[in-house]
Structure 1
């Protein structure tokens, strides 16, 4: 039964944590299950014992099980930084999902279908969806300011504290535990692993699910003097051109994975060498790179020469279909949109973002009110620009403004120190935000144990689960990983 909702009348009551608990049933993987949802606040305290933050979360626990202690527990969050957990919650992991067109069509206005999710992992694991401070309904309390929580280290410490408190209250210390993050949430997952597993009094984890991973920012930040992203983004440029039939001769490659293998080989060899040589590259080497880039991306040879072989992701989004008057999406390059100006060098916005945002925002609000009895007047922050703008990128000796954040050493250390720690990685071929080749670069460095890494690929973008066949494949792949099949 749901507890009644009461409106807060003053600042003290507004900071007081509250939780709504409801009972449900679902049919997952062809079986009927019963589960309970506790949606509400967990209040964290500082070292002096004073309230510091209310973390809003959704806790799904299956109730028709005999031995909860041995049941896996997955902590789920998204990225941004500044995003709530709505995307993974209503897209793949939760027992309810919002259904939008699978073929990269714009969604439009409500109503949106909010249906049962037979692919949810709730039948084999309990789920905790976490909204970091400044997202969802999570907020600082006790006079604290948001900036105290907004940074790689600060955020990881806060969510690690939440996880410890949660595990203690629910008596789950001896359960298998996983973290699941998307986009910056994969950076967050690595940082939390460091907070939980390193040092005395550690909490050893069974592994992480990395959805559209970004661990090492040198692979993805287009800054002067850093040639690596031009290499790591190239296969995604090629996949995008292949999808939109923008290649000079697409008939050479009917099979996308085989095509991308050819692109990878060029990227790692001739292209990387030519970029590394710079002015030392011969005319023949330079022209070969121009020809291959034209062949693999569909961009005009003159344009490639004008970029000095270095194609920025935003320039690519605008240039690829310029002759059609269209721009491709960043989060999912299957999507196309139209800009007011056809002559700018960058898109005015990301068509794959505005195509889906309204549906997920409406879905989480409707679902909370109708099914979970959570109705609050303050805004549920789906994605906060304030959090993103004020994020502290300093982490140890690697300030992003002066270098590049690198989280792979944390996960590789986790593997060395914990023989059972495993990594699942989901990659979208059409993801121009966190390209799959950049993730491959990370996984092929830093001493990872390749035997405990599962890489999976889907013909969709950053949120690959909005593509219906990819959702089914992703869910089955994660299920097999969790069951160690």
Structure 2
């Protein structure tokens, strides 16, 4: 329930777009609300608006749209955690986790995540707003965030924003300004990133710490896209897809009876072990694997994937995920299955082919998220503009060179004994698979000395695991537990010998 409205404007610069549509580059709208989380009444303030990105001369070159939720009547704000939230893409607005996961409102959807009309939002009784304040940040060209033209009407160079390292650099500086403006330097701080946001926050952890001198308590990777893994062309890494194949086939009732009759969590460990201990070494042999071994491996892959041995051999044991989404149900129902969430079904023009015509899950999500976020920002948050809200923005080409984000996170953890990491993944995610996320977690610190500071949580849904009601509850509770367990509670930040 909204109780009052305050509008604060700083017209230091104006973003101008086609047809003379304008938005201030530094502006804020403040509203107050009441909700119920975990049975307790929560009064909170929502501040939404834009905050500039400056160049070295102090000239605004971009303005980022954000929404900040702060619980009211907090006795000691310095002890209250601050969560800084990003989605991915790259090029995605910070909309998905905002109105479907951690925020005070969630979509009108059914218990499995499918669209329900009328579109809109409802209270989220599972939001982590009870224990932490949250800011959702939209990188350049997403949401209402945009580059700012100079006096000659020229936009900044695109490489200033659109690349792994450029993205990390300017966002870290923006966070510094935000934390300073909101007087949150004393607070425990966490960064959470979904999908490509996982790559982003791994790099941000080190950039914030070593160039903004901002130390974190936690980094949370939600269905992380590790570009170090996904940008490789080495077939050996396709072995990591097998446990996802097992999960998706189990959900679609496509596994052999002996596996299908078991619970999902009873069969995934054996699929994982086969993937690492047998399939990966077999793929490493390439064309020099013996015919006998190739046949044996194909048989076992068929057992764990629901695919036929024939098509596995035709792909030389290296089965593309896009082929799996098309093939799994081809001879059963003729449906395709979703990329980001393989619980979803799609209908192609032809059953023939090597990949689906469209992403069944993403079209469903756009169906419900797009009207909801546009309605919510205008009606609930009172931020009104004719600028188009970019669910996905123009950020390509994206510079993927010099990706050291995995080691950036390791370095930040090594330098900061407080810093812990939580990984959350859905078992039915075929784009950033849960086992790929586990593999990334294993590779961050080869020494193994920090392994106790990592934790992994899996859920019976897909990329946006929180769209399923049961997982919305469980995933938020896992965030609460992680936040509470990573608070220092007066313990010094130092290493001690055993």
Which secondary structure state, in structure 1, belongs to the residue aligned with residue 398 of structure 2? coil
Of the three residues 256, 275, 282, the one matched with 1:248 is: 256
2:408 is equivalent to residue 427 of structure 1: no
CA positional deviation for 1:174: 1.3
**In 1: Cα distance, 2:27 partner to 2:361 partner:** 35
CA positional deviation for 1:250: 4.5
Change beyond 3 A, Cα 1:63–1:185: same
Q: TM-score, normalization: structure 2? A: 0.90
Of the three residues 77, 89, 102, the one matched with 1:80 is: 89
Counterpart mapping for 1:68-147 below 5 A: 68-103=77-112, 105=114, 107=115, 110-143=117-150, 144-145=155-156, 147=158
**In 2: Cα distance, 1:88 partner to 1:310 partner:** 33
Q: TM-score, normalization: structure 1? A: 0.92
**Per-residue CA distance 1:181-233 (angstroms, 9 max, x = gap):** 1000011101111211125x511111111100123432x3463xx02331111
Equivalent in the alignment of 1:393: 400
CA positional deviation for 1:44: 2.2
2:62 is equivalent to residue 53 of structure 1: yes
**Per-residue CA distance 1:34-58 (angstroms, 9 max, x = gap):** 1111100111211111111111100
CA positional deviation for 1:275: 1.0
Q: When the two structures are aligned, how many residues end up with a matched partner?
A: 468
**In 1: Cα distance, 2:386 partner to 2:157 partner:** 20
**In 2: Cα distance, 1:427 partner to 1:57 partner:** 25
Where do 5+ consecutive residues of structure 1 fail to align?
396-404
Equivalent in the alignment of 1:332: 341
Deviates more, 1:208-217 or 1:185-194: 208-217
CA contact (8 A) 1:33 1:64 kept: no
Equivalent in the alignment of 2:490: none
Equivalent in the alignment of 1:371: 380
Which secondary structure state, in structure 1, belongs to the residue aligned with residue 199 of structure 2? helix
CA positional deviation for 1:482: 0.8
**In 2: Cα distance, 1:351 partner to 1:332 partner:** 9
**In 2: Cα distance, 1:185 partner to 1:419 partner:** 23
Counterpart mapping for 1:141-160 below 5 A: 141-143=148-150, 144-145=155-156, 147=158, 148-160=160-172
2:225 is equivalent to residue 214 of structure 1: yes
CA contact (8 A) 1:139 1:146 kept: no
Deviates more, 1:35-44 or 1:272-281: 272-281
CA positional deviation for 1:16: 3.8
**In 1: Cα distance, 2:15 partner to 2:306 partner:** 60
CA positional deviation for 1:251: 4.7
Equivalent in the alignment of 2:247: 239
Change beyond 3 A, Cα 1:99–1:229: farther
2:313 is equivalent to residue 305 of structure 1: yes
**In 2: Cα distance, 1:21 partner to 1:338 partner:** 44
Equivalent in the alignment of 2:469: 468
CA contact (8 A) 1:204 1:418 kept: yes
Which secondary structure state, in structure 1, belongs to the residue aligned with residue 70 of structure 2? strand
What is the RMSD of the two structures over their aligned residues, measured on CA atoms? 2.1
Change beyond 3 A, Cα 1:338–1:4: same
Equivalent in the alignment of 2:189: 177
Which secondary structure state, in structure 2, belongs to the residue aligned with residue 425 of structure 1? strand
CA contact (8 A) 1:290 1:309 kept: yes
CA positional deviation for 1:283: 2.5
Which secondary structure state, in structure 1, belongs to the residue aligned with residue 194 of structure 2? strand
CA contact (8 A) 2:209 2:215 kept: yes
**In 1: Cα distance, 2:474 partner to 2:416 partner:** 28
Counterpart mapping for 1:253-332 below 5 A: 253-323=261-331, 324-332=333-341
CA contact (8 A) 2:120 2:376 kept: no
Deviates more, 1:452-461 or 1:434-443: 434-443
Which secondary structure state, in structure 1, belongs to the residue aligned with residue 5 of structure 2? coil
**In 2: Cα distance, 1:258 partner to 1:347 partner:** 30
**In 2: Cα distance, 1:249 partner to 1:151 partner:** 47
**In 1: Cα distance, 2:74 partner to 2:328 partner:** 53
2:43 is equivalent to residue 34 of structure 1: yes
Equivalent in the alignment of 1:441: 439
CA positional deviation for 1:289: 0.5
**In 1: Cα distance, 2:157 partner to 2:119 partner:** 33
Which secondary structure state, in structure 2, belongs to the residue aligned with residue 441 of structure 1? helix
Which secondary structure state, in structure 1, belongs to the residue aligned with residue 482 of structure 2? helix
2:175 is equivalent to residue 163 of structure 1: yes
CA positional deviation for 1:91: 0.9
**In 2: Cα distance, 1:253 partner to 1:281 partner:** 33
2:10 is equivalent to residue 2 of structure 1: no
CA contact (8 A) 1:99 1:113 kept: yes
